[in-house]
Structure 1
Amino acid sequence: MTTAPRRPTAPAAPGTNVGPGAGNELRRGLGRRQMALLGLGSALGTGLFLGAGAAISVAGPAVLLSYAAGALIALVVAYALGEMVSALPVRGSFGTIAGRALGPFAGFSIRWIYWTALIVGIGSEVVAAAIYLRFWWPEVPLWAAVLVFAAAVTGVNATGVRNFGTTESVLSAIKAFAVVAFIVIGVVLIVFGLPDRPATGIGNWTEHGGFVPEGPMAIWLVMAIVLFSFAGIELVAVSAPEAKDPGPALRGALRTLVLRLTLFYLGAIAVMLAVLPWTEVSGGHGTEGSPFVTMFAAAGIPAAASVTNFVVLVTALSAANANLYAAGRMLHSLGDDRFAPRALGATTAHGVPRRAILCSALGFLATAGLTALFGARVFGVLLALGTFGIVAVWITVLLTLLAFRRDPDRPPSTLRLPGGRLTPVLGIAALLSVYATGFYVPEMRTACLVGVPALLVLAAAYALLVRPRRKTRGHRPGR
């Protein structure tokens, strides 16, 4: 005889063992500052230090408006995450909450998509770090450097959340200091100049074709690139189950993170476009062509290329470190909810999901190996899947918020997205519009083509492998 489904109950109090045994509990050891730096470590990456030229080449100086719009969308998603996760700081974060609000398949698919996006991202960052290392020691084999960095990142994650938080805080602080130094040097060049270099002013914003040289439509077309500069804010929500005081810590960390990212991206790019004509910045790719090198060299900083190479090396390792943290927690929640092998839901005596971390490490090593062996031919498709994953996750977060608010038994939130239903609906429309522009932007076109087939594969996997087993064993909601 079947029984009627029960409404999932609210999670147990922090630190309480709610499962059978104590072998699947995470340990609370992160503070608000560490949570904010964790998100900063993932979101503030090589897209600014090396890849800003791609966005500038599409829209020119008007890319500043694109980054402002991207920051606004990221703020909406951040507040949506904060509203839900501050009420339910559960393992699996938005993925688990989506499963409760939208149904089990939503919880299954969005966590696997997000995990895949993270694995692809980590693989690319580790390979990038290995390439940066060869700037100084070109004789080092790429595969050897990849293995060394992979082992280091995995070791930091496997030792415990407190050690991980400390390491990521240091790496993120180095990146933040580099951006602040870049902005300060730029302001000096703009306002005062140097003895052998007159002040540039902001004339470069409107010269070389005007502020909008490629037309107004380019401002939105470039959003397909810009939006992913803010990807990583969701890591703050993923870390909430391991926060010492989840509600207040999450609220403060999300606000601090979005503010810092907005100031860093807009400030750095505004300075960059004022000091250098946008036609020069748009051609900058690689360490030697990075606008950071040009800026440091103009200020007379010795070995500008080496300084920038060190910064982007730290950037890559920081992003890999932060993303492996999130990947391990996502896989741990999937195992705990029986959406993956049950063994992956276990933790050590110190609350570390070591099996999930090691399994994720094998995944990003595989993607790194594909990159090292075949380059863009194979990795381009994987990277497109990761790109699609971020859009899918953000849309799902906003859809989940709409359903979450309709639940009269939901726990109280310490943060709320203003604007009622209109704000998340507008956010969903904006994200769908960004996804649609991918057919016109080469960097996003592959993502549009692989995203829907990937969802169909997940639907088939759920129907054939997961759903029958869950019916047999009975549904056990995630915690």
Structure 2
Amino acid sequence: MPHSSTQVETPPTHDDGGGASLSHGLKQRHLSMIALGGVIGAGLFVGSGAGIAAAGPSIVIAYTLSGLIVMLVMRMLGEMSAAYPSSGSFSAHAERAIGPWAGFTAGWSFWVLLCTAVGLEGIGAAKIVTGWLPGTPEWAWVALFMVVFCVTNLAAVRNFGEFEFWFAALKVGAISLFLVLGVLAIAGVLPGTDSPGVSNLTDLLPNGGQGLIIGLLASVFAYGGLETVTIAAAESENPVRGVASAVRTAMWRIALFYIGSMAVIVTLVPWDSKEVVTKGPYVAALDHLGIPGAGQLMNVVVLVALLSAMNANIYGSSRIAHSLVARGQGPKVPARVSGGVPRVAVLTSCVFGFVCVLLSHWRPDDVFPWLLNMIGGVILVVWFFIAVSQLLLRRRVERENPEKLVVRMWAFPYLTWLALAGMTAIFVLMAREADTRVQLYYTGGMTAVLAAVGYARQRRRAGV
């Protein structure tokens, strides 16, 4: 029987091979805090320094432009996830809207991205700990973190929810306090500090338009990981309400945490300060204020952000893998569910992540850079699939099940087309820069290979 895109209606939360389904162990408080803290990722704390060094004060413009695209993408994803809650999220939506090959391509490319990110975040966390405990091996700390979060995700989804709840609470509290202290210092009312006024903002584009472009590209990838909340929503007590609530608050969260903190940092600290890159922008800003121990405390928060990202990415990668294989898009073994958890998928994702860590030690000059380049543009590919899927699904839902449109994309289809145009512009900018051009080629190559494999599988299943 032909396997057309309109026939993909099997809920991805079920195991095709074993009959068991994922649990719904995430409470609304878990989902709310995951949505709130999920935007405060390792990319913001760790990766924003390079963007500031390149763009200067115009990094605020860069984060605003990329943030607008992210808001639109999250609104589109929220519309589809509220209509069709699924642990496969955008992969399941792409399969339903475009065809099985699209779900295969989007899902497995994102799985590779998340698993590699697990390894990178483990390495980053280990570097912080070895800075406190010199002489201890980095790989041993990564292995410890991996075991802890692997066991956590193997046990029950509520364990993941509890970890993320407290991780997110600490991140939200820390960055909120940072913003309050920064605003007070800028206003000149923080004791023991002098307000810099606008002296650090006089040269908005110190490196010209080229610097802004580099900052824009850096900011795009700092937003990666926001999709996890729509994956987690499928295992919550009320998936539709959870997705709707998370998406509707996305705008102010992005504006406050990302754009707001960038504005505070470049106002307080000269953009060309070496400490912005060597220490990280948040630690540099707090050290600049002269608050005793604040910089070291922020290092603890960065460590928590990295561990939180590890935990979330192990969870997200395992659910994406489970959804894919449950829909017949891979080997059956990772689809098996026991105790409401896809344990083989969790183990597979953890092993892949730790292999990435080993590659960073064994093959740091060839295989590891190749892997990093391959995942460099994946998030943009995923966003592109989300936008195209929403264009197609929205009209289908309006025609067949209009009551499913609990969340609606603003000004459809105009803002969807605007988002696609923005993504296309970023692809063009990536092609102009030497470093990102390599990433674009490698990511494009992986996407093309996955699309070809997915299309061949689709034709074979259709009996063509």
Does TM-score exceed 0.5, indicating one fold? yes
Q: Given the alignment of the two structures, is residue 267 of structure 1 paired with residue 256 of structure 2, yes or no?
A: no
Q: Which residue of 2 aligns with 1:160?
A: 156
Q: Pick closer, same or farther for the CA change 1:278–1:376 going to 2, 3 Å.
A: farther
For residues 254 and 337 of structure 2, the distance between their equivalents in structure 1, rounded to whole angstroms, comes to 33
Unaligned runs of 5+ in 2: none
CA displacement at 1:301 relative to structure 2: 3.2
- Determine if contact 1:67/1:266 at 8 Å carries over to the other structure: yes
TM-score (norm 2): 0.92
CA displacement at 1:320 relative to structure 2: 0.8
- Determine if contact 1:37/1:257 at 8 Å carries over to the other structure: no
Q: Pick closer, same or farther for the CA change 1:450–1:40 going to 2, 3 Å.
A: farther
**Deviations, residues 255-292 of structure 1 (Å, cap 9, x unaligned):** 234422320112211111111111216x6224xx2232
TM-score (norm 1): 0.89
**Bigger shift: residues 323-332 or 189-198:** 189-198
Q: Pick closer, same or farther for the CA change 1:177–1:374 going to 2, 3 Å.
A: farther
Q: Given the alignment of the two structures, is residue 250 of structure 1 paired with residue 246 of structure 2, yes or no?
A: no
1:206-225 alignment, distance < 5 Å:
206=202, 210-216=203-209, 218-225=211-218
**Deviations, residues 356-396 of structure 1 (Å, cap 9, x unaligned):** 01101111011111123333643333222222110000000
Q: Which residue of 2 aligns with 1:386?
A: 375
Q: Pick closer, same or farther for the CA change 1:130–1:27 going to 2, 3 Å.
A: same
Q: Which residue of 2 aligns with 1:477?
A: none
Q: Which residue of 1 aligns with 2:461?
A: 470
Q: Given the alignment of the two structures, is residue 323 of structure 1 paired with residue 308 of structure 2, yes or no?
A: no
For residues 470 and 360 of structure 1, the distance between their equivalents in structure 2, rounded to whole angstroms, comes to 26
Q: Pick closer, same or farther for the CA change 1:355–1:198 going to 2, 3 Å.
A: same
Instruction: Select 1:204's aligned residue among 200, 203, 227.
Output: 200
**Bigger shift: residues 362-371 or 217-226:** 217-226
Residue-pair matches, total: 461
- 2:195 partner amino acid: A
- Determine if contact 1:86/1:415 at 8 Å carries over to the other structure: yes
CA displacement at 1:463 relative to structure 2: 5.4
Instruction: Select 1:171's aligned residue among 167, 175, 188.
Output: 167
**Deviations, residues 70-96 of structure 1 (Å, cap 9, x unaligned):** 111111001101111111112311111
SS at match of 2:389: helix
Unaligned runs of 5+ in 1: 475-479
**Deviations, residues 45-73 of structure 1 (Å, cap 9, x unaligned):** 23322322211222211111111111111
- Determine if contact 2:197/2:267 at 8 Å carries over to the other structure: yes
- 1:143 partner amino acid: W
For residues 70 and 219 of structure 2, the distance between their equivalents in structure 1, rounded to whole angstroms, comes to 11
CA displacement at 1:468 relative to structure 2: 6.5
For residues 77 and 4 of structure 1, the distance between their equivalents in structure 2, rounded to whole angstroms, comes to 28
Q: Given the alignment of the two structures, is residue 409 of structure 1 paired with residue 400 of structure 2, yes or no?
A: yes
SS at match of 1:222: helix
Q: Which residue of 1 aligns with 2:344?
A: 355
- Determine if contact 2:193/2:289 at 8 Å carries over to the other structure: no
For residues 104 and 165 of structure 1, the distance between their equivalents in structure 2, rounded to whole angstroms, comes to 30
- Determine if contact 1:64/1:269 at 8 Å carries over to the other structure: yes
- Determine if contact 1:70/1:226 at 8 Å carries over to the other structure: yes
For residues 153 and 346 of structure 2, the distance between their equivalents in structure 1, rounded to whole angstroms, comes to 7
CA displacement at 1:404 relative to structure 2: 0.6
CA displacement at 1:409 relative to structure 2: 2.4
Q: Pick closer, same or farther for the CA change 1:9–1:463 going to 2, 3 Å.
A: closer
CA RMSD of aligned residues (A): 2.5
Deviation >6 Å, runs of 4+: none
- Determine if contact 1:41/1:322 at 8 Å carries over to the other structure: no
CA displacement at 1:439 relative to structure 2: 2.7
Instruction: Select 2:332's aligned residue among 331, 342, 362.
Output: 342
**Deviations, residues 275-332 of structure 1 (Å, cap 9, x unaligned):** 1111216x6224xx22323333344433344323211111110011111111000000
Q: Which residue of 1 aligns with 2:26?
A: 30
For residues 363 and 302 of structure 1, the distance between their equivalents in structure 2, rounded to whole angstroms, comes to 41
- Determine if contact 1:43/1:319 at 8 Å carries over to the other structure: no
1:54-453 alignment, distance < 5 Å:
54-192=50-188, 196-206=192-202, 210-216=203-209, 218-280=211-273, 284-286=276-278, 289-348=279-338, 350-375=339-364, 377-407=366-396, 408-410=399-401, 412-453=404-445
**Deviations, residues 215-241 of structure 1 (Å, cap 9, x unaligned):** 346434432111112111211111221
For residues 220 and 297 of structure 1, the distance between their equivalents in structure 2, rounded to whole angstroms, comes to 28
Q: Pick closer, same or farther for the CA change 1:34–1:96 going to 2, 3 Å.
A: same
- 2:106 partner amino acid: I
For residues 4 and 386 of structure 2, the distance between their equivalents in structure 1, rounded to whole angstroms, comes to 24
Q: Pick closer, same or farther for the CA change 1:6–1:396 going to 2, 3 Å.
A: closer
SS at match of 2:195: coil
- 1:453 partner amino acid: G
SS at match of 2:391: helix
**Bigger shift: residues 262-271 or 434-443:** 434-443
CA displacement at 1:10 relative to structure 2: 5.0
Q: Pick closer, same or farther for the CA change 1:217–1:423 going to 2, 3 Å.
A: farther
